[in-house]
């Protein structure tokens, strides 16, 4: 049913119809001043403001009675373009004045983008339209938005190939032929309003004749085409209507029928000609009326705003705003410019000779073009058709096919610097360009993606295509130059190009990078080389092979390195100092060796709570780490001879190590200590020595997170440290501050058991870690004692020394992957060759039997910085 429920079914369902009656039809006998300009101008202005896109007109100036006979009989004068020019000359004098409002309004409407339609007139076939119907001829800039309509009737000659001929009463298109079409206007079933006044009006339907019946066919067709092509401007839709008209009469644009009979079925398939003045017969040609000749197809995407800020502003919601297909065979001397983010598909055999420019969005050629195609920045050319020539400029992309397909080029192909050849691939085929001329390649990029995928090949997709070769470009005229790169170019996988005299072949496979070559540090390179030796089929090798980038591979190597294992050895050696420092502090207590002192020769017990934290700086080669230790040491000693004291020490400590720089590894150490010490005083000279043995239980965790790997590698291992240490110190006997130069020497031996991590393919194993370290320290201590009362004394002291490592400082471990047994050597931050030893101490004698000490000691080197604090309680019994 029709929208209003009546017996007549219309077209363009979504259209809004505005009816305007100016109430002043004018004499229509050729009198230019016969219309009320003010009334007409007000009507035009109202329609422009309403957002109307089409205005159909059933009025005119008309022609004088002297041309009546000439319209049917060539023996009599008939109305020609010269007579219309006389009318327009008079109109021109009225423009801009109140009497000229009817004409000013019409010009303003067309200039605003409204398609303005005028009936050609009912003055018989030999007469031309009057000057208002032909206004586009005299005002060239409005011609694209102007349509003059002649009337057709059914051909009484049923044997004729043309079912329609011009209505007997209709004026010809004449000088308006370049913007004139023909439409049925005889015996048209039309709605009517009858009556003598407002009180007795009735509505109904009746057959009518006249160009005023033909013009609404064009207006309705324009409405349908505007709904079909919502992204087009009015003048573009008018061009579609004209160029798809069915040719009648003399071939091409002719004086009788203009472009011919409107053909809405053909118009639905898009334009049939890109028009320039060369396509218009010289007798009908209007200078300056055809613009550049480029038809701009701007498909803005669904939801885009069109004509923003104008009365015709609208939202482009139809699917064709994002994807449209033009199926006609497009001719003409003009060209096509593709704009907007949407996709336009051409399927016809297109012979237009102007340029084809792809400036934005996608243009797919699934038919053929004689035109040369230029793809500019932001544009994409695709399709399986044939084109004249191809140039891809910087930022332009050529993507043959609609999935995988072949684009044929009759002439040359040029890929300028910065352009892209987007190749879709499958296990058996790929996109291809076949050129009849030469291919000039100036460093453009080739990209690879799976068929119908908008993204570059993933590493897994590349792996699935390893060894596959594709013929992506053939040029009968030869290949000049090369592509600059192939993407994706993953760390170890990608595409390579092979060039022959007439073609380019793409192969998917390993690129030239070895695992080790992308490593930034010695450890990363060592791990990479070992992992590559694992070979195809090994889970770890396969995972690393799929690394998306060098940075991702470097991150994986860093996590795989096991750098924490040698770092644990360094930690245990460094932590050994806390026991010998505690013994040294005990043997430096006041009057400890004097049997005649108030403390006499009774035994002493002491207890020390210690805590420390440290940080290593790996620089650019190794991972940084942080460490901490907390523990409790206890000792007992006594005089065994004059000026000689012997003691024993035991204790427990808990250390932790956390490694940074993406290693995702940590360790905790439980340590148990046992030692003995001896001190002897000879006047101002004090000699001390000691030995200790420590047992360590180490718990190591590495949490790997890279690629498809996500797992924990764990191990528990045992280690021991044995150390010997000695010191000589001389009291200078100065007052009030006592200075004591000293020199000490320590030997530390570390032995760590071999281990095997529990985990997945990234699990490591390592042999024993045996190290011997000799450390010497030279320095000076200062202290001063303050008597707080008869029983209470406060002792403040400080020390500063230089520690020198006399042995090898490197920290390394020999490791191997458990699964594959591929070995490598990894290093952690080296021990410092030289470091500063800093100490501060405060001791308070609470009475003659109890003493409390608070101390700070630091070891500060270029690689390691450790800071410790301790609280000691001495008790004499």
On whether residue 689 sits in a domain, the answer given is: yes
CA distances from 225 to 1, 117, 265, 267 (A): 22, 15, 10, 7
Question: CA-CA distance, 242 to 153, in Å (whole number)?
Answer: 19
Of the candidates 586, 392, 390, the one whose C-alpha atom is nearest the C-alpha of residue 475 is 390
Residues 6+ apart with CB under 8 A from 600: none
Question: CA-CA distance, 725 to 747, in Å (whole number)?
Answer: 6
On whether residue 204 sits in a domain, the answer given is: yes
Residue 659's beta-bridge partner residues?
625, 665
Q: What is the mean pLDDT of each run of 10 residues along the chain (877 residues)?
A: 60 79 66 83 94 94 88 92 96 94 96 98 96 97 98 93 94 98 94 83 90 96 97 98 98 98 98 98 95 96 97 96 98 98 98 98 98 98 98 98 98 99 97 98 98 92 94 98 96 94 95 93 96 92 91 93 96 96 91 56 87 93 94 95 94 95 91 97 95 98 83 94 98 91 98 94 94 98 88 90 97 94 94 96 86 94 94 86
Question: CA-CA distance, 184 to 163, in Å (whole number)?
Answer: 11
Residues 6+ apart with CB under 8 A from 99: 33, 37
Name the DSSP letter for residue 514: -
Count of domains forming the chain: 3
Strands 834-845 and 823-828: unpaired
Query: Do 238 and 366 sit in the same domain of this protein?
Result: no
Question: CA-CA distance, 673 to 227, in Å (whole number)?
Answer: 91
Residue 802's beta-bridge partner residues?
778, 836
Question: CA-CA distance, 585 to 607, in Å (whole number)?
Answer: 12
On whether residue 114 sits in a domain, the answer given is: yes
Question: CA-CA distance, 398 to 377, in Å (whole number)?
Answer: 11
Residue 769's beta-bridge partner residues?
752
Question: CA-CA distance, 180 to 137, in Å (whole number)?
Answer: 11
Residues 6+ apart with CB under 8 A from 556: 543, 544, 547, 706, 707, 709
284's tokens = 């009908």
Query: Do 200 and 321 sit in the same domain of this protein?
Result: no
Question: CA-CA distance, 834 to 781, in Å (whole number)?
Answer: 19
Query: Do 375 and 476 sit in the same domain of this protein?
Result: yes
Length of the chain: 877
217's tokens = 């066919």
* Domain, as residue range, for 445: 294-510
Q: How far is CA 444 from the centre of its chain?
A: 19
One-character DSSP codes across 724-758? EEEEEEE----SSSEEEEEEEEEEEEEEE--EE-B
Query: Do 269 and 407 sit in the same domain of this protein?
Result: no
Instruction: Output phi, psi for 84, to 5 deg.
Output: -65, -35
The distance in angstroms from the start CA to the end CA of the chain is: 117
Separate counts of helices (H) and strands (E) for the chain: 13, 49
Question: What pLDDT is attached to residue 104?
Answer: 96
Query: Do 417 and 351 sit in the same domain of this protein?
Result: yes
Query: Do 479 and 572 sit in the same domain of this protein?
Result: no
402's tokens = 């609609």
Helix locations, 120-189, DSSP H = 135-138
Q: Is 50 exposed, middle or buried (0-12, 13-18, 19+ CB in 10 A)?
A: middle
Sheet holding 439-442, edge to edge: 294-298, 335-339, 356-358, 372-375, 389-392, 413-415, 439-442, 479-482
Instruction: Output phi, psi for 590, to 5 deg.
Output: -65, 135
Of the candidates 386, 361, 366, 389, the one whose C-alpha atom is nearest the C-alpha of residue 376 is 361
Of the candidates 616, 522, 631, 619, the one whose C-alpha atom is nearest the C-alpha of residue 567 is 616
Query: Do 311 and 413 sit in the same domain of this protein?
Result: yes
Name the DSSP letter for residue 224: H
Identify the H or E element spanning 308.
none
Question: CA-CA distance, 173 to 154, in Å (whole number)?
Answer: 18
> Which residue matches tokens 């598909």?
345
> Which residue matches tokens 């001390």?
688
Q: Are the C-beta atoms of 401 and 409 separated by less than 8 Å? A: no
Q: How far is CA 765 from the centre of its chain?
A: 42
**DSSP-based three-state secondary structure for 57:** strand
What is the SS3 string spanning 311-368?
Answer: CCCEEECCHHHCEEEECCCCECCCEEEEECCCEEEECCEECCCCCEEECCEEEEECCE
Question: What pLDDT is attached to residue 550?
Answer: 93
Q: Are the C-beta atoms of 382 and 361 separated by less than 8 Å? A: no
CA distances from 238 to 32, 49, 225, 626 (A): 27, 21, 9, 77
Which residue, 252, 284, 316, sits at the end of a domain? 284
Q: Are the C-beta atoms of 381 and 403 separated by less than 8 Å? A: no
Query: Do 154 and 261 sit in the same domain of this protein?
Result: yes
On whether residue 620 sits in a domain, the answer given is: yes
Residues 6+ apart with CB under 8 A from 877: 602, 603, 604, 605, 849
> Which residue matches tokens 């009979």?
261
Greatest CA separation for the chain: 159
CATH number, domain of 76, equals 3.40.50.200
Q: Are the C-beta atoms of 230 and 204 separated by less than 8 Å? A: no
Dihedral (C-alpha) 787, 791, 796, 797: value to the nearest 10 degrees? 120
Which residue, 221, 251, 284, sits at the end of a domain? 284
Query: Do 357 and 272 sit in the same domain of this protein?
Result: no
Query: Do 280 and 299 sit in the same domain of this protein?
Result: no
Identify the H or E element spanning 524.
helix 522-534
On whether residue 520 sits in a domain, the answer given is: no
Residue 301's beta-bridge partner residues?
none
Rg (CA), the chain: 49
Query: Do 482 and 623 sit in the same domain of this protein?
Result: no
On whether residue 647 sits in a domain, the answer given is: yes
Question: CA-CA distance, 205 to 558, in Å (whole number)?
Answer: 87
Which of 806-817 are b and which e, b meaning 16 or more Cβ less than 10 Å from the residue's Cβ? eeeeebbbebbb
Question: What pLDDT is attached to residue 1?
Answer: 46
Which residue, 493, 510, 527, sits at the end of a domain? 510
The pTM score is: 0.78
CATH number, domain of 757, equals 2.40.128.130
769's tokens = 């870690």
**DSSP-based three-state secondary structure for 585:** helix
On whether residue 664 sits in a domain, the answer given is: yes
Query: Do 312 and 199 sit in the same domain of this protein?
Result: no
Question: What pLDDT is attached to residue 594?
Answer: 54
313's tokens = 């502003």
Which runs of E-coded beta strand occur in 426-502? Answer: 432-435, 439-442, 445-450, 469-475, 479-482, 485-487, 493-499
Of the candidates 190, 223, 219, the one whose C-alpha atom is nearest the C-alpha of residue 207 is 190
Q: Are the C-beta atoms of 32 and 87 separated by less than 8 Å? A: yes
Question: What pLDDT is attached to residue 19?
Answer: 77
On whether residue 841 sits in a domain, the answer given is: yes
């Amino acid at each position: 049913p029709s929208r209003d429920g009546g017996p007549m079914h219309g077209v363009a369902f979504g259209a809004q119809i505005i009816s305007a009656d100016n109430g002043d039809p004018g004499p229509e006998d050729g009198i230019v001043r016969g219309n009320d300009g003010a009334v007409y101008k007000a009507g035009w202005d109202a329609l422009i403001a309403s957002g109307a896109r089409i205005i159909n007109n059933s009025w005119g100036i008309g022609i004088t009675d002297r041309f009546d006979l000439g319209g049917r009989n060539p023996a009599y004068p008939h109305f020609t373009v010269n007579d219309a020019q006389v009318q327009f000359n008079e109109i021109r004098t009225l423009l801009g004045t109140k009497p000229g409002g009817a004409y000013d309004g019409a010009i303003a409407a067309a200039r605003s983008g409204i398609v303005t339609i005028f009936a050609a007139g009912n003055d018989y076939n030999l007469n031309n339209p009057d000057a208002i119907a032909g206004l586009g001829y005299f005002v060239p800039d409005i011609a694209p938005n102007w349509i003059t309509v002649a009337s057709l009737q059914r051909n009484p000659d049923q044997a004729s190939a043309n079912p329609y001929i011009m209505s007997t009463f209709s004026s010809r298109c004449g000088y308006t032929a370049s913007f004139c079409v023909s439409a049925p206007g005889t015996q048209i079933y039309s709605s009517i309003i009858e009556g003598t006044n407002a009180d007795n009006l009735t509505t109904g339907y009746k057959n009518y004749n006249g160009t005023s019946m033909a013009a609404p066919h064009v207006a309705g067709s324009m409405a349908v085409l505007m709904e079909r092509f919502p992204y087009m401007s009015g003048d573009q839709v008018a061009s579609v209507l004209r160029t798809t008209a069915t040719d009648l009469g003399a071939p091409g644009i002719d004086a009788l029928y203009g472009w011919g009979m409107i053909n809405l079925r053909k118009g639905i398939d898009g334009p049939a000609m890109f028009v320039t003045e060369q396509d218009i017969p010289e007798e009908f040609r209007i200078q300056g009326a055809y613009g550049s000749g480029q038809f701009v197809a701007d498909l803005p995407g669904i939801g885009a705003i069109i004509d923003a800020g104008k009365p015709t502003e609208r939202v482009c919601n139809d699917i064709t705003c994002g994807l449209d297909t033009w199926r006609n065979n497009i001719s003409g001397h003009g060209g096509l410019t593709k704009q907007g983010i949407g996709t336009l598909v051409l399927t016809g055999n297109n012979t237009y000779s102007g340029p084809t420019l792809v400036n934005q969005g996608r243009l797919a050629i699934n038919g053929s073009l004689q035109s040369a195609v230029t793809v500019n920045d932001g544009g994409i050319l695709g399709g399986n058709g044939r084109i004249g020539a191809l140039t891809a400029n910087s930022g332009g992309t050529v993507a043959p096919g609609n999935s995988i397909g072949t684009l044929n080029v009759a002439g040359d192909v040029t890929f300028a610097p910065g352009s892209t050849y987007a190749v879709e691939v499958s296990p058996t085929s790929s996109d291809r360009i076949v050129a009849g001329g030469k291919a000039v390649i100036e460093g453009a990029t080739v990209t690879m993606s799976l068929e119908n995928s908008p993204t570059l090949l993933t590493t897994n997709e590349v792996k699935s295509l390893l060894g596959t070769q594709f013929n992506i470009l053939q040029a009968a005229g030869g290949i000049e130059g090369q592509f600059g790169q192939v993407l994706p170019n993953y760390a170890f996988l990608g595409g390579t190009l092979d060039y022959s005299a007439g073609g380019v072949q793409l192969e998917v496979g390993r690129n030239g990078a070895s695992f080790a070559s992308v490593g930034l540090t010695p450890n990363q390179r060592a791990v990479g080389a070992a992992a590559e030796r694992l070979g195809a089929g090994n889970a770890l090798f396969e995972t690393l092979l799929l690394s998306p980038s060098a940075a991702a591979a470097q991150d994986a190597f860093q996590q795989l390195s096991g750098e924490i294992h040698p770092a644990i050895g360094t930690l245990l050696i460094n932590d050994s100092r806390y026991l010998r420092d505690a013994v040294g502090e005990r043997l430096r207590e006041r009057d400890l060796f004097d049997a005649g002192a108030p403390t006499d020769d009774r035994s002493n017990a002491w207890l020390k709570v210690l805590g420390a934290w440290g940080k290593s700086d790996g620089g650019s080669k190794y991972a940084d780490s942080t460490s901490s230790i907390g523990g409790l040491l206890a000792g007992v000693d006594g005089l065994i001879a004059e000026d000689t004291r012997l003691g024993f020490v035991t204790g427990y400590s808990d250390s932790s190590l956390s490694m940074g720089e993406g290693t995702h590894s940590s360790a905790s150490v439980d340590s148990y200590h046992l030692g003995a010490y001896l001190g002897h005083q000879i006047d101002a000279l004090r000699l001390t020595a000691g030995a200790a043995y420590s047992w360590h239980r180490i718990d190591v965790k590495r949490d790997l997170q890279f690629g498809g790997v996500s797992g924990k590698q764990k191990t528990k291992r045992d280690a021991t440290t044995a150390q010997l240490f000695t010191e000589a110190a001389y009291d200078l006997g100065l007052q009030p501050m006592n200075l004591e130069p000293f020199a000490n020497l320590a030997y530390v031996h570390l032995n760590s058991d071999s281990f095997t991590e529990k985990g997945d393919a990234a699990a490591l194993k390592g042999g024993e870690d045996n190290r011997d370290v000799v450390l010497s320290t030279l320095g000076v201590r200062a202290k001063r004692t303050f008597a707080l009362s008869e029983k209470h004394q406060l002792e403040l002291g400080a020390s500063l020394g230089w520690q020198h490592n006399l042995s090898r400082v490197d920290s390394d471990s020999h490791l191997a992957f458990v699964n594959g047994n591929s070995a490598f050597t990894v290093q952690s931050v080296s021990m410092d060759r030289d470091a500063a030893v800093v100490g501060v101490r405060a001791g308070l004698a609470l009475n003659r039997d109890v003493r409390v000490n608070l101390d700070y000691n630091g070891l500060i080197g270029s690689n390691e910085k450790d800071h410790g604090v301790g609280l000691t309680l001495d008790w004499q019994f």
